Structures are given as structure tokens and as C-alpha cells.
Copies of this chain bind each other. A is one copy, B any other.
Amino acid sequence: MRNSLADVVAAGLRVLDAHGLEHCSMRRVAAELGVQPSALYHHVSDKQTLLALMADEIVGPATALGAAVADPRSCCIALREAMLAVRDGADVVATAAAFRLGASEAERRLAGLVGPDGARTLLLYTFGHAQSTQTHRQAAALGALIDPAALPRGGTTDPAAATDLDASFERGLDIILRGLGAPAQLNPVLGAAEPQNSVF
């Protein structure tokens, strides 16, 4: 045999991470495998299916059996980290999840902890924030390429912005968890009055 389904999914993830979702075409994935575009359709019925399989792979690390995290907070943070680890990962996972594939293992786990409504609310927020984070990061990276004078001294890209987005995510997470009656999260730094600016 020449290529397996796993090879196709792996090639898809390589192309995604290297070139982004916009350029992750069937033709590019085929080229990555050194094969004709039509060959992919022996392994996968269409592009949507391939993307769903890629989404499962992206989210795998966060939903692996070994990482049996008990609290919903760490669960969402792990999920977000898994999506942010690959270029445009949040878009791929969120789209696949809307079609019911992908993160449903994560949802089952969360539903056991906070009920179905809580699980859905947490997941939709987590996906949305991750997409927003990734959009802003690639906009920042593009801006840095166009206008490299923006960097005051060393450093590849502005580290403060990334920290802000991570903190912003956790604050929103704590709002939802508070609404679910979860134990209040101990946040020793900072007062609680109207911090930070908007993400959009």
C-alpha cells in the first residue's frame, strides 16, 4: 500500500500548520504526499470529512484518556491550548464541532461536570475566544512583518498582547463558572473593578 488515511490526515495537518486554512486545499495536501488530487478521494469522501478528522487530531491531546482532568476550568484551558497549538486550529475545530464531530468527547466530559447547558456554554465560549485569539495573533504577526518598527527592542512578537488574551480568556471562563455555581476561583492579583480593554 502507498498511503493510509492516517498519512492523509497527517499531511493535511502539515499543510494547515505551514500555510493556514485558506491555503489548505485538497490539491496542496495531495502535493504534500506526492500524489494526484484525485487520489485523496480514495481515503476520504470530501474536504469537509478530512477537516473533521484533522480537528479530532488537533483536539486529541486535550481529550486523551491519560489527561483525565476533573475540573471544567482546566478542561477548557487545555482545549484552548490544543487549538492554539496549530495554525488556524480554532477555526478547524469550531467548524467541525458545529457539524457534531470533533470535540464531542470534550463535551461529554464537561457535561458530566457542569450539565449539558453549562458544557455547551463553556465550549462555545472557548471556541469563540480561541478563534478570536488566533485572528488577533496572525494580524499582529502580519503587522510585524509590514511594520517591524513597532517592536521597541528585541522579541519576535508582542508578548504583552498574548498575555492579555490568555488572561481575558480566563476572566470570561470564571464569569461562566460563577454563573454555574462553581467554587469561586482564587485570583490573588488585581482588584475586580473593570479591568482591561476589549478584544474586538
Contacts and interface: CB of A to CB of B under 8 A. Distances in A.
Interface string A167-182: 0100110111111100
Contacts of A132: 98, 124
A172 B135 contact: no
A116 B198 contact: yes
A197 B172 CA distance: 24
A50 interface: no
A80 interface: no
8 contacts: A94-B128, A104-B198, A120-B172, A120-B198, A128-B128, A174-B179, A175-B176, A176-B176
Contacts of A74: none
Main secondary structure of the interface of A (DSSP, over half): helix
A63 interface: no
A168 B117 contact: yes
Nearest to A178: B179
A144 interface: no
Contacts of A171: 117
Interface residues of A, number: 43
Nearest to A173: B121
A148 interface: no
Contacts of A178: 178-179
Interface string A6-32: 000000000000000000000000000
A175 B168 contact: no
Given A124-B128, A128-B127, A132-B98, A103 B177 contact: no
Given A98-B200, A121-B176, 7 more contacts: A97-B200, A98-B135, A104-B198, A115-B194, A116-B196, A120-B129, A120-B199
